[in-house]
Structure 1
């Protein structure tokens, strides 16, 4: 067993991967042989990820606020505190806060054998977002 009492500081989500203000807190990345990565992600109103995929899928658990998530070809789905979303391996998607609310979620991913956890793609077209 290992107890971690200090983690890396909060960092801002890079503009090439996020629209709006997003803050990332790494909660767990225990290292080999584990490939688990756990983040607490804080989205300001209207902030969201770019389109992306995860090699082994992703679990999102909404801790507070309201947001939205969309998989390629599907509708934009509302998500609220207490909701858990399973995103399939390789499924192209985006997620973030609602237009008028903050949203915080836990994001759980498993790294691929080469260590990658995400493949970032284009930003979401603002014309495709509901008001």
Structure 2
């Protein structure tokens, strides 16, 4: 068993991967052989990720606020506090806050063998346009 009492400082989401103000807090990065990663992600109103996908999928659990999520080719879906979203391995998607509310979610991923957790694409349009 390992208890982490101190965590890395909050990091602002880089502009090449996020639109708007986004802050990431690393909650867990486990030792090998596990490749689990967990982040607490805070989105300002209207902020969201670029299109991206994960080698082993991703679980999002909304802690507070209201957000949006979309998989490529699908409709923009509303998500609210208490909702959990499973995004399948390799599925292109984006997620973020609603236009008028902050949103915070936990994001859980498993890194690939080389340590990467995501492949990033173009910036997303929350209106559902542009892939």
State the TM-score, normalized to the length of structure 1.
Answer: 0.96
Deviates more, 1:120-129 or 1:9-18: 120-129
Distance across 2 between alignment mates of 1:125 and 1:102: 18
Structure 1 stretches lacking a partner, 5+ long: none
| Structure 2 equivalent of residue 86 of structure 1 | 86
Distance 1:126 1:74, change over 3 A: closer
| Structure 2 equivalent of residue 109 of structure 1 | 109
Aligned residue for 1:128, secondary structure, equals: coil
Aligned residue for 1:114, secondary structure, equals: coil
Distance across 2 between alignment mates of 1:37 and 1:89: 15
Structure 1 residues 77-119: Cα deviation after superposition (integer angstroms, max 9, x where no partner): 0000000000000000000000000000000000111111000
Structure 1 residues 25-75: Cα deviation after superposition (integer angstroms, max 9, x where no partner): 000001211100000000000000000000000000000000000000000
Distance across 2 between alignment mates of 1:128 and 1:75: 7
| Structure 2 equivalent of residue 27 of structure 1 | 27
Structure 2 stretches lacking a partner, 5+ long: none
Distance across 2 between alignment mates of 1:103 and 1:125: 17
| Structure 2 equivalent of residue 12 of structure 1 | 12
Distance across 1 between alignment mates of 2:120 and 2:46: 19
Distance across 2 between alignment mates of 1:66 and 1:112: 30
Runs of 4+ with >3 A deviation? 125-129
The number of residue pairs the alignment matches comes to 129
| Structure 1 equivalent of residue 72 of structure 2 | 72
